[in-house]
Amino acid sequence: MRFKKIQRIYQRKLSLKLTKKTAASIVDFIEEGHEVVIVHGNGPQVGQIVSVYEKATGIPNMPFPECGAMSQGYIGYHLQQSIGEEMRKRGIDKGITAMITQVLIDEEDPAFCNPTKPVGSFFSKEEAMELERRKGYIMKEDAGRGWRRVVPSPEPIDIIESKTLKALVESNFIVITAGGGGIPVIRKDNGKLEGIPAVIDKDLAAELVGEVVDADMLIILTAVEKVCIDFHKPTEKGLERLTVEEAEQYMEEGQFAPGSMLPKIKAAIKFVKSKKGRRAIITSLDKARECVKERVGTRIEGLPTE
């Protein structure tokens, strides 16, 4: 028990350290006068929450949508603190809030026929079969490392709290929204919303948020400075600019890894195609400030403004 307590303390400190680093880059944008809306991932955090319930016996199962909501609040809280502290240091007086965000999906999305998104801990085959029997999970073997629970990854359709989001942005608030891709919900015939055990890709959710708030730029911050073709090969090449047509061609060639760069490229393409003049940039967190000035990163561009 002592080890687990120490591990939780370490994870919290690591999360705070990462959000403080992220905060500095975000406040750089704010300091230069940009309006900012933030969407974040939640992979490690929601995995930790799920793992607690996977391994627990004698307690009710925590539904996956509630696990996603818990991670939204957890990460949003850390980002609010870190960004707020960084703004105070720089003398910036702006409100910041994190929204528990529901994202509408289609109950008939093809992703439900083939759940592929792994969440939570690794298990032996015997443990996995027991979880399937006892908790109704779908378990799949993961690249020889063990068995994990998998859930669908459907496409986002709409932000349920879009009116609230737009009102906050128009009131000059910094908003943290659709964390981890948002909580996936379907709308029943009676209009009631129902949470669904699924994971919406955070990059596609960020693209949808960009459309909702009528943003002119989508910036996707990741682990690499530029999008590359022939990644990790002797012929690897970093790309500074991509047209939609070029990006789509590279996708057809299989240049971008599923679950890694591919959803980022898809989100960028969808965003720049949604309205003339919109741009998307993919780069690393530490290059964020420079990317707006077109010095670093990969720019995906669509039709020019009229």
Domain ranges of the chain: 4-301
pLDDT of residue 57: 62
For the stretch 84-106, pLDDT in tens is 999 999 999 999 999 999 999 99
pLDDT of residue 259: 79
pLDDT of residue 302: 77
* pLDDT band for position 275 (cuts 50, 70, 90): very high
Residue 280 zone, left/alpha/beta (φ > 0; ψ -120 to 50; rest): beta
What's the mean pLDDT in 52-73? 82
* pLDDT band for position 5 (cuts 50, 70, 90): very low
Q: Which region among 2-6, 134-138, 266-270 has the lowest average model confidence (pLDDT)?
A: 2-6
* pLDDT band for position 282 (cuts 50, 70, 90): very high
Say which amino acid occupies 36: V
Q: How far apart are CA 121 and CA 105, in angstroms?
A: 26
Structural contact between residues 154 and 106, judged by C-beta atoms closer than 8 angstroms: yes
Q: Tell me which DSSP letter residue 32 carries.
A: T
pLDDT of residue 306: 44
What's the mean pLDDT in 251-256? 94
Q: Kind and range of the H or E element at 150?
A: strand 147-151
- Pairing state of beta strands 37-38 and 174-176? parallel
Q: Helices 244-252 and 262-274 meet at what angle, rounded to 10?
A: 150
**pLDDT: which is higher, 122 or 43:** 122
Q: Hey, CA dihedral for 103, 108, 109, 113, is it positive or negative?
A: positive
Specify which residues 37 forms β-bridges with. 175
- Fold for 4-301, please state it: Carbamate kinase (3.40.1160)
**pLDDT: which is higher, 46 or 13:** 46
269 by DSSP, 3-state: which?
helix
Structural contact between residues 299 and 241, judged by C-beta atoms closer than 8 angstroms: yes
Say which amino acid occupies 183: I
Q: Which region among 112-126, 148-162, 291-305 has the lowest average model confidence (pLDDT)?
A: 291-305
